[in-house]
Structure 1
């Protein structure tokens, strides 16, 4: 039997195959960040037939200060719940499960988007921009933890099957984890365990509000691919801590290098990272990055580089990709 067709069991999030549509920003929300008809139509088209076992909804801002771009989805207010329920219902009716990714952009935004000065762990320039953020106080960090908690509650109340915490692609939690941007000397900085303290506090806060049975995923930028940044050795230590704290699935991607490795166009180019993480945790590991061929997905699973395969741009370009991939084994 195909590895791609195997169900995922022994996990809080059971899936009927190993194919995942990872989060991809659509910029299709309404002006207030609420679900629009365009978003409903988009996810209806992608999920039709249930060939994709899990659809992770694009990163959604937990607070206006953490909004990354215009027309980004919001999970910042209870008023978003009603329309989000429509979104989860459509995907479920089509036969797929769905998780929502929640995020704070930190210094990966600007005042034109939020109306506020960008914030970060330290007043250090963001490698992906020219922004020097305001350094967060301890009280402000505690408030962000609460905003993640409230966002996770909204995700559950909206009928989703789990919540994904975003710590990749140069956004706020990536900024805390990375020694490039976290120069704090208090409990949220210093060594590696200090730099992931905000993650651990958020995981605990989210678990407290969603309960023991609701799946928590975490997207981890496992390497910044920049000298002096996050290394895979850092991420192996962090991954063990995240599993112990209650994360159920780790979704491996890039850090400040975002979702690419310059010059590397191989199928599954983050697989050295996912393989290394898989060696130190017992929870499922999701791999995304340049996978466009079903044979590549099969090989990455069979060689134990990952437990789940995310196919992004190929599904974005061709809504029938998943159907053709699944039916190719029948």
Structure 2
């Protein structure tokens, strides 16, 4: 049997194969972040047939101040639970597991979107969307952030999602704490790598205290900024080990301030060097995404030990039957 078609365990989460739909923003939510019929229809189409073992819902904001864009999905209020329950059920009814991604944009947003001055670890312009100088988060605000992540995870669990993923990639808030390009703090949240991931560990601990020891918790990390002075693979290997010790069940690899693409690089699986490096130092499953458009390449990356799970994004955006067609192809080829 092709490795791509083999089941895998991530904590208490059993996945039927190695294909994952990673989080991709749709801008289909209602203006206040509520689940819309358009979102339900979108995920019903993407999950049809259950050929994807796991669908990680697009990044959803945990606080109004952390909203990244208009019509972004919200998990910031208990009023969202009813709609989120419908969303989880749409996916699960089709045979895929559903995971909620919890996010805060930090400085990668604007007052026009949130109504608030953007906040960040330090008063440094965001390298991806530096429209407004953010204010440096106080200790009290950091404490409130941890609580917001915790309560967002509670809502996802109540809504029936199979797990949550903490977003620390693509230059969003937790990634801003991780990266020395954006974290210039001189207190216990800045300086050394262990200080820069202190908030991550507090978030993981708070979520675990809320959802219990068995509920699946993943983290998506921007494993390298690919910029001078930024986060490196070696940094992320240390961080990944700490995240595993703190209780995460899976690590999803993407870029940091470089975003989810690498300019000038068009090879499939372009973050594979990062995912392979992380896989070498942790025992939990590692997800690789990055320009994968051919099922044979996905299988090859697994066989080469680059990752345990393969995320396919834009190919699924273009063709909702990509996974079904690819699996049939693998089965025919034996």
Task: Sort the TM-score into its range (normalised by shorter chain).
Answer: over 0.9
Distance, in Å, in 1 between the alignment partners of 2:34 and 2:114 is 16
| Deviation sequence 1:20-50 (CA, Å, 0-9, x none) | 0000000000111000000000000000110
The alpha-carbon deviation at position 13 of structure 1 amounts to 1.4
| C-alpha distance in 1 between matches for 2:329 and 2:21 | 18
Structure 2 residue 159 is matched with structure 1 residue 158: yes
Rounded Cα–Cα distance in structure 2 between residues aligned with 1:13 and 1:58: 19
Which residue of structure 1 lines up, in the alignment, with residue 200 of structure 2? 199
Matching of residue 18 in structure 1 with residue 5 in structure 2: no
Runs of 4+ in 1 over 3 A off after TM superposition: none
Please state if 1:91 is matched with 2:84: no
CA-based RMSD of the aligned residues comes to: 0.7
Whole-Å Cα distance in 1 between the matches of residues 129 and 215 of structure 2? 36
Write the distance in 2 (CA, Å) between the matches of 1:240 and 1:184.
23
> How far is the alpha carbon of 1:329 from its aligned partner?
2.2
Q: Give the match for residue 209 of structure 2.
A: 208
Residue aligned with 1:165, SS: strand
Q: Secondary structure at the match of 2:330?
A: coil
Assess, with a 3 A threshold, how the Cα gap between structure 1 residues 158 and 10 changes in structure 2: closer, same or farther: closer
Report the counterpart of residue 185 of structure 1 in structure 2: 186
How far, CA to CA, are the matches of 1:30 and 1:129 in structure 2?
Answer: 23
SS in 1 for 2:60: strand
Q: What is the Cα deviation at residue 11 of structure 1? A: 3.1
Aligned-pair CA distance for 1:10: 6.1
- 1:285-318 superposed Cα distances (whole Å, 9 cap, x missing partner): 0000000000110000000100000000000110
- Any idea what SS the aligned residue of 2:288 has? strand
Aligned counterpart, 2:45? 45
Matches of 1:251 and 1:35, distance apart in 2: 25
Name 1:252's counterpart in structure 2: 253
Gaps of 5+ in 2: none
Structure 2 Cα separation of the partners of residues 128 and 314 of structure 1: 24
Q: 2:105 matched to which residue of 1?
A: 105
Q: Quick one: distance in 2 between partners of 1:290 and 1:86?
A: 30
- Residue by residue, what CA displacement relative to the aligned partner does 1:26-85 show, whole Å, maximum 9, x if unpaired? 000011100000000000000011000000000000000000000000000000000110
Name the TM-score, length of structure 2 as normaliser: 0.98
Q: Secondary structure at the match of 1:296?
A: helix
TM-score, normalised via structure 1 length: 0.99
**Superposition pairs of residues 214-233 of structure 1, within 5 angstroms:** 214-233=215-234
Alpha-carbon displacement from aligned partner over 1:176-226 (angstroms, at most 9, x marks no partner) = 000001011111111100000000000000000000110000000000111
